[in-house]
Structure 1
Amino acid sequence: MKKVLIITHTQDNECIEVVSKKIKELNGLPIRFNVDEYPLKYSISSCYENNEWKVYLDYQGVRVSINDVEAVWYRRSHNLGAGLSNVLDKEFVSSAYGEIRTTLFGMLESLNCFQISKFSQYRRLDSKEEQMKIATHLGLKVPETCITNNPQEAKRFVQERPNGVISKMQSSFAIVKDGIENVVFTNVVKEEDLDSIDSLQFCPMQFQEKLEKKLELRVTIVGDEVFTFAIDSQKSENAKVDWRKEGNAMIADWVPYELPLEIKEKLLQMMDIYQVNYGAIDIIVTPDDEYYFLEINSAGEFFWLDRLIDGAISEQISKVLLGNVYRRYTPVLEENFSRV
C-alpha cells in the first residue's frame, strides 16, 4: 500500500478529508501531519544507521515510518510550532522555532519521493515578479505593473494612468487587530491616497493598471489537467475590484469555463518551468476578450469549485499523488545513480 504524507494543520478545511478518502479508495494510505501540533505533540526523527536512512513520525504513541512514502502533498504549514511560547522561556522561543522550521522543511526537502511541489518550489512561487516575467516571456498578457516602496515612483505610476490603478500585497497579508485577522484586499488607489503615500517607504506594494472586467477566471491545474471556472464579479458592487470580498455570497455564481487552447498551453508551460503539479491561477477576461494573467497561487483553495464537479479536482490530486496519471517528477536520487 502506497503511503502519502499530507502536510497541513488542524484548522484546514474539508479538502484534506476528501482527498484522503479518495486516496484510500485508490488503495493508498494517507498520513496526516498537522504541523501546528509539532513539536508539542509530534516528533520527527531522521536517523542514518547501518548505511541506511530512516525517518519516523511519532504521534500519541504511534510511530510511522515516512522515509518510504510514495508522495508528499505540502498543503499548508500554518501556525507551525503553536503553543511553544507556553512551554519555553521567552529567550529560547526564537532559537527553538528556527530549529523547528529547519528540521521540518529540511526533512521534507530531503525525502526521496514525488511531491506535488517541494517547499522550496512553493517559496520560489512567492515571487509575483518572476511569475509575471515568465508569463510575458511565454506570450501571456499581464497588467502594467509597478512594485515599489518609493512613494514618488508609485505616485508617478498612478498619475500616468487615467483609467485607474489598483494596489495589492504580494504576500498573504493580514492585519491582526483586537485578536481579529483582517485580510488586506485589492483596492483602487484614490486621489486622497496619494496624500499619505509617504508611508509606502516602509512597506513595498504592488500597483497595477485597473482593467475592465468581463469575467474573472480561476484556473486550477493538477498535473496536466486544467479545471477552469468563471465568475461575473461585476454583478456585485462590493466584488468589482476583489471578488473575495463577497466570496461566500457569490460561491454559487461560479460556472465551468472553456479556456482557449492557446492560453491553456501557455499555463501548462509555466507549470513545466516551475516543475510544480498544483497551481490555482487568477486571470481577468476583459470586455475585448483579452486574457490577463495575474498570478499563480501555489496552495490556493479549490474545494468550493471541487463541489461543482463532483470532486474531480480532489480525485485528480489523489491520482497524481499515487502516480496513476501524468505528473512532473524527476527523481533527485536514482537507485542506480552513479557519477560519470
Structure 2
Amino acid sequence: MPIPATITTNDPEEAWKFYISHGSKVVYKTLSDGLLASGKDPWDRQFVLGEVYTTPLENYKRTDFEEVVNCPCLFQEYIPKEIEIRVTIVKDQVFTAEIHSQESPATIYDWRRGGDLNNIIHRIHRLPSDISEKCISLVERLGLNFGAIDMILTPSGEYVFLEINPNGQYGWIEVRTGLNISEAIAKALVDGGKE
C-alpha cells in the first residue's frame, strides 16, 4: 500500500529539508498522546491545557523549525482525503469504518479536532479484498492479534496507509457503526490463540 513520506527527527535542518522537498505540504503529528498539561499529574483534567492534533504546516520559514531540537517530532507528507478509514484487525477478522472528516473545515486534518464526534458521519466500509489481506498480513508480521490501522481513501480512490496502533481505541467505532469488535476480541482471548 502507498505510504506518505514520513520522518521522525529532532534535527531542525532535516525537518526543514523535508518540508521544502514536499512543497510545504506537510503535517506534524505527535509521537505520544498529544496532551499539553501542567502540574504533576497530566491525567488530572484540571491540568490539561489542550491537545495537539495532526497539524498542517503552512507558510513556515526555516526559523520556525528551530524548536524541533527540543524533542523528536513526526512530520508526514500531506495526502488529500476523500474519507478517513479505521481498519480494526482482530486475528483474521477485518472491521472497517469510514470517518467522513472532510465534511467540516474543523476536521479536515484530524477528525478528533471537531469536538463533537456525533456530528461526524461514520459508516461501515468494505475494503477491497487485497487491501484486507495486506492489513491482516501486517498485523501477523508484527506478531500481533490486534491492530488499529489508520488509512486514507484519496479522492482518486487510492487507499493510503498512515499508521498502525497495537492498542488503538475501537469503542466509538462500535457505537457509531454497530461493528462487533468487542465480541471478536473476547473470542480471541477465550480461544487463547488456538485455531
TM-score interval, smaller chain:
0.7 to 0.9
Q: Which residue of 2 aligns with 1:238?
A: 106
| 2:10 corresponds to 1:149 | yes
For the residue of structure 2 that corresponds to 1:322, the secondary structure is helix
Pick closer, same or farther for the CA change 1:223–1:160 going to 2, 3 Å: same
State which of 148, 165, 168 in structure 2 corresponds to 1:297: 165
| Greater length-normalized contact order (CA 8 Å, ≥ 6 residues apart) | 2
For the residue of structure 1 that corresponds to 2:117, the secondary structure is coil
Contact 2:86 2:149 in 1 (8 A): yes
Contact 1:251 1:304 in 2 (8 A): no
Deviations 1:291-321 (A, max 9, x none): 1111111211111111245461111111111
For the residue of structure 2 that corresponds to 1:141, the secondary structure is coil
Which shifted more, 170-179 or 269-278?
170-179
Pick closer, same or farther for the CA change 1:289–1:172 going to 2, 3 Å: same
Contact 1:276 1:328 in 2 (8 A): no
Percent identity between the aligned chains?
35
Contact 1:272 1:328 in 2 (8 A): no
| Equivalent residue runs for 1:46-195 within 5 Å | 140-162=1-23, 164-177=25-38, 179-180=47-48, 182-192=50-60, 194-195=62-63
Give the superposition deviation at 1:196. Answer: 2.7
Give the superposition deviation at 1:192. Answer: 3.7
Tell me the C-alpha RMSD between the 2 structures.
Answer: 2.1
Contact 2:35 2:48 in 1 (8 A): no
With normalisation by structure 1, the TM-score equals 0.52
AA of the residue aligned to 1:290: E
Give the superposition deviation at 1:141. Answer: 1.1
Contact 2:24 2:57 in 1 (8 A): no
* Cα distance in 2 for residues equivalent to 1:143 and 1:309: 28
Contact 2:95 2:179 in 1 (8 A): no
Pick closer, same or farther for the CA change 1:223–1:251 going to 2, 3 Å: farther
Q: Which residue of 2 aligns with 1:127?
A: none
| 2:122 corresponds to 1:254 | yes
* Cα distance in 2 for residues equivalent to 1:222 and 1:201: 38
For the residue of structure 1 that corresponds to 2:80, the secondary structure is coil
With normalisation by structure 2, the TM-score equals 0.87
Aligned length: 188
Contact 2:96 2:125 in 1 (8 A): yes
Deviations 1:170-203 (A, max 9, x none): 2223210361252221101122464331111111
* Cα distance in 2 for residues equivalent to 1:225 and 1:193: 46
Q: Which residue of 1 aligns with 2:146?
A: 278
Larger Rg: 1
